[in-house]
Amino acid sequence: MNELKDGLLEALKNATNIRNLKPDETITVCVFGGVSAVPAKVRVAAKPKPSVSEDEADELQVFLADRENGPPARGTIMTIRVKKSDVDAFAQGKLSADEFRTKAAIIAYAGDTGGWGGWGGGGGVFGLTPN
The Cα 20–Cα 104 span in angstroms is 21
Question: H/E element holding 57?
Answer: helix 54-60
What residue segments make up the domains of the chain, in order of their start? Answer: 2-36+73-129, 38-70
Does pTM surpass 0.85?
Answer: no
Given this model, what pLDDT does residue 121 score?
41
Given this model, what pLDDT does residue 110 score?
84
Given this model, what pLDDT does residue 126 score?
43
Given this model, what pLDDT does residue 77 score?
87
| CA angle, 7 then 8 then 12, to 5° | 120
The Cα 75–Cα 120 span in angstroms is 9
Given this model, what pLDDT does residue 37 score?
56
Given this model, what pLDDT does residue 123 score?
44
Given this model, what pLDDT does residue 46 score?
52
Given this model, what pLDDT does residue 23 score?
95
Tell me which residues of the chain have a pLDDT lower than 50.
41-42, 45, 63-64, 117-131
Given this model, what pLDDT does residue 51 score?
65
The four Cα atoms 82, 87, 93, 98 give a dihedral, to 10 degrees, of 10
Given this model, what pLDDT does residue 111 score?
78
